[in-house]
Structure formats: C-alpha cells, structure tokens
Amino acid sequence: MPVILDTCALLAFMNGEPMRESAIRAIGSAQRSAIVWVPSIAAMEIARKVAAGRLQLSRGLSARVWFARALSEPGFEESPLTSEIAIAAYELPEPFHKDPADRLIIATARRLEAPIVTVDRRILGYARLGHVAAIAY
C-alpha cells in the first residue's frame, strides 16, 4: 500500500530519527511494493525553514540537494501539486485549520487514496473524524 509523508515525517525518516514501528513497517512496505509519496509542498516548507534559519539540513546541504537526495530513496516518488489538488485543498470537509501546506498534503492523500505518515495532531484529529487516513509516527 502506498503512503504519503508529511514534511515532518520526511525529515524524521531522512534523518534517521526514531519512529513508531507501525510507521516504519508502513514506509518499508510501501518502498518494497508500492510508492512512498512525497508531496511537492514539502520542498517549499523545507526551503522556507532553511531560508529563515529555522532548519539546518544534514552536512549543511541546500534544500534543493537535500530534497533531491530524499527523492532518490528506494520507492520514493514526488507527488506534484496539480490544480485539482490545489482546489480540493479548499473543498475539504470542515472543520479543518487554514494551514495551506497541511490542506495540500491532505488533499493529495485523499486524491492518491494513501494514508499520511505524520505526528501532526491536527492531521491525526482530522483522520479520527474519518476524512483522511493517517499513520502516527
């Protein structure tokens, strides 16, 4: 089954940070038999944090090089932002908060019918309402 990584999950996975066993199994399974989707918006979020000095990537890599390396992981594929996803992000069942990146990630997950690997409490709460599937890491 494919999965989609939110920005924090992508950073945690690439940095080898501890993750729950269920998330590691889901990502490993997706790598072997399907796809690990990485939403394009994650590149923007990472680049914005690096530019603002709020994130330092391993070995001082630029956001561009770091993201390219992430996409070279086995089974990882970029999920591009389309106009359909952009519009769907603002047609989500309410209530949900206004963060455009989270909205785009959720709309992408719904479009791809893939669970989001995340620790974001707002996304996990939205999943508990049945609007998207999520795997807490």
Question: Which structure tokens are listed for 50?
Answer: 């690096």
pLDDT for 27 equals 97
Closest CA to 10 of 35, 42, 34: 42
18-31 pLDDT, tens digit per residue, is 999 999 999 999 99
pLDDT of amino acid 81: 96
Asked if 10 contacts 41 with a C-beta cutoff of 8 angstroms, the reply is no
What sign results for the dihedral spanned by CA atoms 85, 88, 92, 98?
A: positive
- The per-residue pLDDT of the chain, averaged, comes to 96
pLDDT value at residue 16: 93
**Domains held by the chain: number:** 1
Residues of the domain holding 26: 3-136
Task: Give the whole-angstrom CA distance, residue 106 versus residue 58.
Answer: 27
pLDDT digits (tens, 9 = 90+) for 78-91: 999 999 999 999 99
What integer is the mean pLDDT of 29-56? Answer: 96
Cα 79 to Cα 19, 61, 68: the distances in Å are 23, 22, 13
Percent of the chain with pLDDT over 90: 95
The pLDDT of 2-18, averaged and rounded, is: 97
From residue 66, alpha-carbon distances to 2, 18, 34, 117 in Å are 22, 19, 23, 20
Q: Quick one: pLDDT band at residue 34, thresholds 50, 70, 90?
A: confident
**Burial of 86 (C-beta count, 10 Å sphere; 0-12/13-18/19+):** middle
Supply the CATH number for residue 37's domain.
3.40.50.1010
Higher-confidence residue of 28 and 34: namely 28
pTM of the model: 0.94
Question: 127 pLDDT exceeds 90?
Answer: yes
